[in-house]
Structure 1
Amino acid sequence: MQRYFVDDMNDTHATITGEDVHHITRVMRMSIGDNIICCYNGKVARCSITEITNDSVFAYVVEWVENINELPIKVCIASGLPKGDKLEYVIQKGTELGTAEFVPFIAARSIVKWDEKKGHKKTERWSKIAKEAAEQSHRAVIPNVQTPLSFQNLLSYSESYDYKLIAYEEDAKRGERSNLARVLSELIEGQSLLVVIGPEGGLSEKEVAKLEEHGFISCSFGPRILRTETAPLYVLSAVSYHFELAR
C-alpha cells in the first residue's frame, strides 16, 4: 500500500497536497475508494480516498496502525560536507536505516565550498530525498535535514544530545575497539545520539580536540578505514542491531 506524509490530518480525515497529488492521480492512477497509508507527526493510519481535486486528495481514516518502524533512540548524523553527490547517498541510505536528523557542517578539510545563494535549492533536494526514502522504507517520520552549519554552530547544536561520538580514523589505526560498544550499552530507549563524521580528508586534530572539549567521545568503527559515505551506514547498522535485533 502506497505511503504518503501529510501536512494536514486529524482523527478522521487526511488532506494530501503538493507533488503527492500528481503521484496519486497520474503515476499510481488511484481513484475514490482506493486505500493508502498516511503518516502525520509520527502516527500512521490506513486511509480510504474520498475525494480528488486538481490540487488535493482527501481521505478518510479507516484505522490507526501501530508504528514499530522507528529506531528506539534518536540518531543524528553530522557529516562534514563531502564532494559530489555523496551526501545525497548518505541521506537516502541513512533514512532507510533510521536516522532522525542529518546535520551537514563545514569542516576544515571540506573541499566543497557552501554557496548560501544556491544552498536553498540543494537543501530542498536533500529534504525531498529524505522524504522519498522514508516512504520507501515505511518510516513514520521524515528525517530533518539541516542547512549546513559552521563548525562552531555544530558545537552549540550538539548540546541538546545525550551522547556524542566522533568517528576518528586515527583511533582505528591505534586499535581502539571499545568506545562505540560502551556508548551503545549505556544508551537507553528515548535518548539521543549525535555522530560526527569528517569529509574525505577526515577531521583535523584541532577539530577533534574541540569536539572532545564539548563532551564528544572519539572512537573507531572497526579496524578498517571507512569512506565518509560509508561510516554513517556502519554506525546506523550497529545501532539497529544493538537495539532492534540483539534483544
Structure 2
Amino acid sequence: MRKFFVDKEKIKENFAYIEGKDTHHIINVLRLKKGDKIVISDGSTEYLTSIYDVEKNRVILFLESKLQSNTESSIEIALFQGLPKSDKMELIIQKCTEIGVKKFIPIITRYSVVNIKNSNLNKKIERWNKISQEACKQSGRTSLPEICMPISFEEALKQIDEFDLCIIPYEKEKTLKLKEVLDGVKNIKKVAIFIGPEGGFSEKEIDLALRYSAKLVSLGPRILRTETAAISVCSIVMYELGDMG
C-alpha cells in the first residue's frame, strides 16, 4: 500500500490533507480515486486512510485508524558525516536512512573541499530531506530522520556527551577494532558515528576528538571510501546493537 508523509498541521480531527507534488503523483501517476486506501505518516504515527475527495491541488483523506508500526530501531544512530564531494552525501543519506539512521549532521573538517554557499545551502537541505523521505517510503520507516545544517568539527564534538558511545573510524588506529568496541558495551541506546571526508581527519582533529572521549576504531586493513565507510559502519552498529541481526 502506498505511503505518504504529511505535516502534522495537515492532520485535523478525522481528516488529513495532501498538497503539492504528492497530489499530482496520487491523481495523475497512481490514478487513485475516491475510496482508495493509502497510508500516511506524520513522522511519528502512521494512519490508514481512504481518499475522501480529490480537488485540483489537494487530496482530502479520511482517517480510518492508527497503525501499529515496528519499523523503527531502538538504537538511535546519529551520523556526523564529513562533507564529501559531488553527490556522495545523497547516496549516504539514502542508504543510511534505509538502514535506520535517526539523524544526519554534516560536518566541516580540515580536509573538506566542499564549499556550500549560503545561497545553495537551503536547496541542499531540501534535496537531502526529499531523498531521505523517499528512502523512508521505500524501506517502510515511520519516522523521518533529522537532517541538520552543517557545523564545524569542534561544534560536532561538543554534542557527543549526549550519546552513550562515540565511534570514529581512523585509518591509523591499528589496535582497537570496531567489533571489539561493540562487543564490550551494554545498554547502548544512542550512538554517534563520525566519518571523515575523502581526505579523512587531520591529526589535530583526532587529538581533539580524544580529548572529548571519542573512541578511535579500526575497520581493518583496507581503506574505504567515505560513502562506503558511512554505510558499512552504520550497518555494523545496527547489526550488533539494533534490529538487523
* TM-score, scaled to structure 2: 0.91
Match of 1:31 among 24, 30, 33: 33
Give the Cα separation in 1 of the matches to 2:167 and 2:155.
17
Aligned positions of 1:48-63 closer than 5 A: 48-63=50-65
Alpha carbons of structure 1 residues 124 and 75: separation in structure 2 relative to 1, 3 Å: same
Match in the other structure for 2:6: 6
Amino acid at match of 2:112: S
Give the Cα separation in 2 of the matches to 1:69 and 1:11.
25
2:222 alignment partner, SS class: coil
Task: Name structure 1 gaps, 5 residues minimum.
Answer: none
User: Alpha carbon RMSD of aligned pairs, Å?
Assistant: 1.8
Aligned positions of 1:1-247 closer than 5 A: 1-7=1-7, 8-9=10-11, 12-171=14-173, 174-177=174-177, 179-183=178-182, 186-188=185-187, 191-242=189-240, 243-246=242-245
User: CA shift at 1:142, angstroms?
Assistant: 1.2
* TM-score, scaled to structure 1: 0.91
User: CA shift at 1:210, angstroms?
Assistant: 0.9
User: CA shift at 1:176, angstroms?
Assistant: 2.9
User: CA shift at 1:130, angstroms?
Assistant: 0.7
User: CA shift at 1:187, angstroms?
Assistant: 4.7
Structure 1's consecutive aligned runs of 4 or more residues displaced over 4 angstroms after TM superposition are: none
Give the Cα separation in 1 of the matches to 2:204 and 2:160.
17
Alpha carbons of structure 1 residues 148 and 99: separation in structure 2 relative to 1, 3 Å: same
Alpha carbons of structure 1 residues 187 and 54: separation in structure 2 relative to 1, 3 Å: farther
Residues 221 and 234 of structure 1 are in contact (CA less than 8 Å); yes or no, is this contact kept in structure 2? Answer: no
User: CA shift at 1:64, angstroms?
Assistant: 2.1
1:169 alignment partner, SS class: coil
Amino acid at match of 1:188: N
1:123 alignment partner, SS class: helix
Alpha carbons of structure 1 residues 180 and 206: separation in structure 2 relative to 1, 3 Å: farther
Amino acid at match of 1:176: L
Give the Cα separation in 2 of the matches to 1:150 and 1:186.
28
Give the Cα separation in 1 of the matches to 2:12 and 2:167.
38
User: CA shift at 1:24, angstroms?
Assistant: 0.9
**Identity of aligned pairs, percent?**
35
What is the count of residue pairs matched by the alignment?
242
Q: Relative to structure 2, which stretch is displaced further, 84-93 or 35-44?
A: 35-44
Residues 43 and 144 of structure 2 are in contact (CA less than 8 Å); yes or no, is this contact kept in structure 1? Answer: no
1:70 alignment partner, SS class: coil
Residues 15 and 58 of structure 1 are in contact (CA less than 8 Å); yes or no, is this contact kept in structure 2? Answer: yes
Residues 13 and 59 of structure 1 are in contact (CA less than 8 Å); yes or no, is this contact kept in structure 2? Answer: yes
Give the Cα separation in 1 of the matches to 2:20 and 2:110.
38
Q: Relative to structure 2, which stretch is displaced further, 23-32 or 59-68?
A: 59-68
2:197 alignment partner, SS class: coil
Task: Name structure 2 gaps, 5 residues minimum.
Answer: none
User: CA shift at 1:11, angstroms?
Assistant: 6.3
